[in-house]
Structure 1
Amino acid sequence: MKQFSQTIYPGLLLSLAIASLSKIIAIWLPSLGAGTIAILLGILLGNLFFSQSIWQKGTKFSEKTLLELSIVLLGTTVTFQTIAQIGGSGILFIMCQMTLTILAAYFIGKKLKFNQTMSLLMAGGNAVCGSSAIGAIAPEIGAKDKEKGQIITLVNLLGTVMMLTLPIIGGAVFTDNVMAKSALIGGTLQSVGQVIASANMVSSQVVEMATLFKILRIMFLVVVVFAFGKIANQSKDNNLTIQEKTKKKFPLPWYIIGFIICCVLNSVIHFPTILSQTTHSISGWFEITALAAIGLRINAKEFLKEGPRFLAYAGSVGIVQTIVAITLIKLLSS
């Protein structure tokens, strides 16, 4: 029993059970959707009944690995023509949104007396892809484990709040404009999981397009890591230990590379319909199971742990990020 508790199976099976229950409930609540139900059930059950360590390995596996596999499989269902729907204005939006988010997060951090390292981590985490970006940037700028942990917590807290509020904001501002709501969610939220969870609260169309906007942001991670390495204090970089330097790796996540390969293959040879339908179904199950796990791993108590200065930093960045996104979307779509 002890060996079983140390594996991924308890948390994985729990996440799968919640995903299955969510699909059943969604039959009677189709407007809410299985994805939204999964994450809300996960938050509720995780904080009330399933906060023990036995579930952690499995929920972490479900949140990370299953979601990454879901992104790879998504590549078998889209082509260059699908991605082209984002258009030049969509690419310009992402570039401007990321640049302004980085500048805002950095300067707000400096105003609130955070050091350069933490300000850069906050900027990269919010502009690109949350914890993954922070993990890639940290060794480049010589960030300490404590600094990295604090910013990861802060970015995830902000992402959770925005994940739940952006569908409401997007619906109020853009009504039935699928592309605009997709750009808002995919262009601002911190992690892939948060994008998919938030988009699920709107529609399946928004899920697909918001994910493409998010993938475009992640593809710029290489540029951001390189730029931040140059910006960081040179003496700090020179003083990195050999162990810290060996942690540096190619920053583009494997699942983005997998998505691109699948997309290229589907664009060139056009996968059979039966294959695309099968991978789409598997991807959907992976996605909903991952969303249940994300909900299970959201600790409501964490919102109370961070001090006022940290919460002010997160709140300020989130507000600026959302306002900038809405403004850019309106300007570029006019």
Structure 2
Amino acid sequence: MNNLVKDTHTKQTYFTSVKVILPGLLTAFIVAVISKVVAIWLPTLGAATIAILLGILLGNTFLKNPILEKGTKIAESKLLEFSVVLLGATVTFQTIAQIGLKGGIFVLLQMGLTIVASYVLGKKMQFSDNMSLLMAGGNAVCGSSAIASIAPAIHAKEEEKGQIITLVNLLGTILMLLLPIIGAIVYGTDILTKSALIGGTLQSVGQVVASASMINGQVVELAMLFKIMRIMLLVFVVYLFSKFKQQQFPTSTATETVPQKKNTALPWYVVGFVLFCIINSLVHLPAELSQTAHFFSGWFEITALAAIGLRLDFQKFFKEGKRFLIYGLSVGIIQVVLAIGLIFLLGL
């Protein structure tokens, strides 16, 4: 009898979860389908660009509804993660070789200089030590994921974490739309340099995919490689920030008791991407399998980008104070200038 009650409860919970998720997930998929159709007549824009722009338009007007929130969040995060993993099945060591040693040096310098500049600027603008470190890590590595990993290591408060996540996401959205234009103006048709600019600068994986998709599929692949290199350094950054905070405030960090769950492991989709890439390089997967992976990766990506657009609330741009917005925009300008300067100096 007890087992029957448990099974019934489990089924009810499952169906409740599906009901909550389905509206947003279906809406994101419908926007993706519409974008694919519209892209037939607007091939220059492409389905990915149309999906995120249409999502932004609808999400701030007709489809601004809390009932969609859970589903669009799942679509934005999980589908994009699966898309990244499947992208690994289309990449080989030969693709990675296109980035080369200079590309690796570029990523290290871009991350290091972004961290220093963001932290120093934050302190100059009288932000707390924690907020300056979170801003530095979020912009240098991988946006919200990096912030969530760094916060417990430096004993940041939930309020500090929330404010910086909002700011970093706002900055990333602006750069996501601007970098393809900047890349076209500065680098013309050069694929590698535009990939380095987008993959080495943008905050989240979704923003990298969305921005690179506005150019072409090859830029998506290469930009994601630059991005993956940054994410793989997350554990190292968390460790350094933790040590730095302990040295700066040895007493306060020992006595602070902020109950937060540590989360410093590499994201599963990065591991999956690397494994698929290794398998594809060593075994050379059948063309049919690679094509199938590319097909599903493309649909997951466009649905996720539609969800990102639907979730982008323009009101958040105006909720944060002027000082926050100035800080965010200043860090963004520094990142873009650093990237362009390093690409030139390294001769990428």
Same fold (TM over 0.5): yes
| Counterpart-to-counterpart distance in 1, 2:189 and 2:220 | 14
Which of the residues 188, 205, 208 maps onto 2:218? 205
One-letter amino acid of the counterpart of residue 267, structure 1: S
Match of 1:12 in 2: 25
* Residue number among 251, 271, 295 corresponding to 2:285 in the alignment: 271
Which residue is 2:181 aligned to?
168
Aligned: 1:321 with 2:335:
yes
Q: Does 1:261 align with 2:275?
A: yes
* Secondary structure of residue in 2 paired with 1:176: coil
1:280 maps to 2:294: yes
Of 41, 48, 52 in structure 1, the residue corresponding to residue 61 of structure 2 is 48
AA at the equivalent of 1:283? S
Q: If you compute each CA radius of gyration, which structure gives the higher value, 1 or 2?
A: 2
Q: 1:4 to 1:65 in 2, by over 3 A?
A: closer
Counterpart residue number, 1:127: 140
Indicate the residue corresponding to 1:228 in structure 2.
Answer: 241
How many Å apart are 1:263 and its aligned residue?
A: 1.1
Matched, 1:155 2:168: yes
Output the amino acid matched with 2:120. F
Identify which of 72, 77, 94 aligns with 1:64.
77
Looking at structure 1, the residues matched to 316 and 259 of structure 2 have their Cα atoms a distance apart, in angstroms, of 31
Cα offset for 1:236? 3.5
| 1:24 aligned onto 2:37 | yes
Residue 284 of structure 1 aligns to a residue whose secondary structure is helix
Q: Cα deviations across residues 106-129 of structure 1 (Å, max 9, x unaligned)?
A: 001000000110000000000000
Alignment of 1:89-104 (within 5 A): 89-104=102-117
Q: For the Cα contact (< 8 Å) 1:142–1:236, is it kept in 2?
A: no
Provide structure 1 residue ranges, at least 5 long, that are not aligned to the other structure: none
Shift of 1:80: 1.4
| Matched letter for residue 291 of structure 2 | Q
Which digits, 9 at most, give the CA deviation of each residue in 1:81-104, with x for residues without a partner? 111110000000000000000011
**Cα distance, 1:331 vs structure 2:** 1.1
CA contact (8 A) 1:5 1:54 kept: no
- Kindly provide the amino acid, as one letter, of the partner of residue 315 in structure 1: L
For residue 199 of structure 2, the aligned residue among 162, 167, 186 is: 186
Q: C-alpha separation between the residues in 1 aligned to 2:111 and 2:171?
A: 16
Given candidates 255, 260, 267, the residue that maps to 1:239 is 255
Residue 281 and residue 236 in structure 1: after superposition, are their counterparts in 2 closer, same or farther (change >3 A)?
farther
| Separation in structure 2 between the aligned mates of residue 235 and residue 268 of structure 1, nearest angstrom | 51
Is this contact kept in 1: 2:24–2:67, CA < 8 A?
A: yes
Q: In the superposition, relative to structure 1, how do residues 225 and 4 fare at CA in structure 2: closer, same or farther (>3 Å)?
A: closer
Cα deviation, residue 4, structure 1: 7.4
One-letter identity of the residue aligned with 1:63: E
Superposed displacement of residue 240, structure 1: 4.4
- Distance in 1 between the 2:18 and 2:276 partners? 36
Task: Tell me the secondary structure at the aligned position of residue 251 of structure 1.
Answer: coil
Contact 2:234 2:264 in 1 (8 A): no
* 2:79 counterpart letter in structure 1: L
Cα distance in 2 for partners of 1:213, 1:32 equals 24
TM-superposition CA deviations, 1:263-284 (whole Å, max 9, x none): 1111121111100100110000
What is the alpha-carbon distance in structure 2 between the residues aligned to residue 161 and residue 38 of structure 1? 16
Gap change, CA 1:198 and 1:242, over 3 Å in 2: closer
1:82 counterpart residue number: 95
Is the Cα contact below 8 Å between 2:148 and 2:263 reproduced in 1?
Answer: no
Q: Distance in 1 between matches of 2:258 and 2:322?
A: 36
Instruction: Tell me, in whole angstroms, the C-alpha distance in 2 between the residues paired with 1:214 and 1:74.
Output: 13
Counting aligned pairs with the same residue, the percent is: 61
Task: Indicate whether 1:218 and 2:237 are aligned.
Answer: no
Q: Secondary structure at the match of 1:188?
A: coil
Q: Report the Cα distance in structure 2 between the residues aligned to 1:174 and 1:267, rounded to whole angstroms.
A: 30
Relative to the length of structure 1, the TM-score reads 0.96
Query: For 1:286-297, what aligned pairs fall within 5 Å after superposition?
Result: 286-297=300-311
The one-character-per-residue Cα deviations of 1:45-68 (angstroms, maximum 9, x if unpaired) are 000011211100000000000000
Deviation (angstroms), 1:249 = 3.0
TM-score (norm 2): 0.93
Conserved in 2, the CA contact under 8 Å of 1:141 and 1:236?
A: no
The answer for unaligned runs of 5 or more in structure 2 is 1-14
Structure 1 position 241, deviation (Å): 3.4
Check whether the contact 1:186–1:213 (CA below 8 A) recurs between aligned residues: yes
Alignment of 1:39 with 2:55, yes or no, is no
